[in-house]
Structure 1
Amino acid sequence: MTDARARGTAAWHGRIEHVRGSDLGSDTVQTSGMRRYEAISGKSVGSERLWMGRTHVGPATSSGDHHHGEAETAIYIVSGHPVFVFADGEDEVRVETAPGDYIFVPPYVPHREENPSPDEEAVVVIARSTQEGIVVNLPSLWADVGRPAES
């Protein structure tokens, strides 16, 4: 490789990071009823605008109510049939899913995950628009989330 070529690529070529499924970290904020595992984050690989990981919800389990702050959250259902619950006015809305489905959770939306199956774990892959996995646990779906005022 020529010196000019090496200098030209050094400024914009980074390295690909590989995180094995067996090496996911569980040192993240947790919500009762579920277990989050961090794969891609500022802490694990130096990401600047992305967090990605996997969540497990055991059979016949419901997570606590929570939101993810400023982060947009995308969820891919790997296995099981988790139900995503959120408040719409005074109503509780339940979104039932199956493997291969996707869910989008906007910033600051209180929600919870439920796994109604008596014997099958639900596993999902999560991507967030922040480098860390923001989790704010709440007393209910109707709790004040302290969303910043829009400018």
Structure 2
Amino acid sequence: MTQHPTDHWHAPLRHIKGKELSGDTRQTSGMTRLEAVSGRTVGSERVWMGQTHVAPATNSGDHHHGEAETAIYVVSGHPVFVFAEGDAEVRVETEPGDYIFVPPFVPHREENPGTEEAVVVIARSSQEGIVVNLPSLWAPVDEGDVGR
């Protein structure tokens, strides 16, 4: 549990250098997730922040971020964010300077169809980097597995 300083006006700021980001966080296939601000790194209580890198011509695995809201800022590349809306696959194509909001529990994946690495900065409403990796959302379902 994080201790609160008794003098909130004089609590220290924390500086996390880009070269000091930690990859010691839950990962998803096809991307590298780096942690900067979290309960573990700076004692935050309500925010997690970091970045992800997706190589050219690569897709991440399907995943969601549990109860956390996720805000994404596209730094470089042209990542595509993919989710399901009913039976339809929705693809949100982005460019540097764009923002994406991912509601809690929404399964999605990142794709990078481009020729340069896609880098995004992520902020979550949790002090932990919640990641729940899923089987492919769009894989054919074996009817013998329905209801199991």
With the length of structure 2 as denominator, give the TM-score of the two structures.
0.87
Name the counterpart of 1:82: 79
Question: What's 1:25 paired with?
Answer: 22
> Counterpart in 2 of 1:123?
119
Q: Which amino acid aligns with 1:50?
A: V
Aligned length: 134
Corresponding residue SS for 1:22: helix
User: Is the counterpart of residue 132 in structure 1 residue 134 in structure 2?
Assistant: no
Shift of 1:11: 2.0
State how far apart, in whole Å, the 2-side matches of 1:93 and 1:43 are: 34
The unaligned stretches of length 5 or more in structure 1 are 1-8, 144-151
| Structure 1 residue ranges, 4+ long, deviating more than 3 angstroms after superposition | none
RMSD: 1.4
* Alignment partners' CA distance in 1, 2:113 and 2:80: 8
Identity of aligned residues (%): 75
Larger Rg: 1
Per the alignment, in what secondary structure is the counterpart of residue 19 of structure 2? helix
Distance in structure 2 (CA, Å) of the matches to 1:142 and 1:14: 48
Report if the CA contact (8 A) 1:110-1:142 is conserved. Answer: no
Matches for 1:27-106 after TM superposition, within 5 Å = 27-106=24-103
Calculate the TM-score normalised by the size of structure 1: 0.86
Structure 1 distance, partners of 2:104, 2:12, is 30
Q: Which runs of 5+ in 2 are unaligned?
A: 140-148
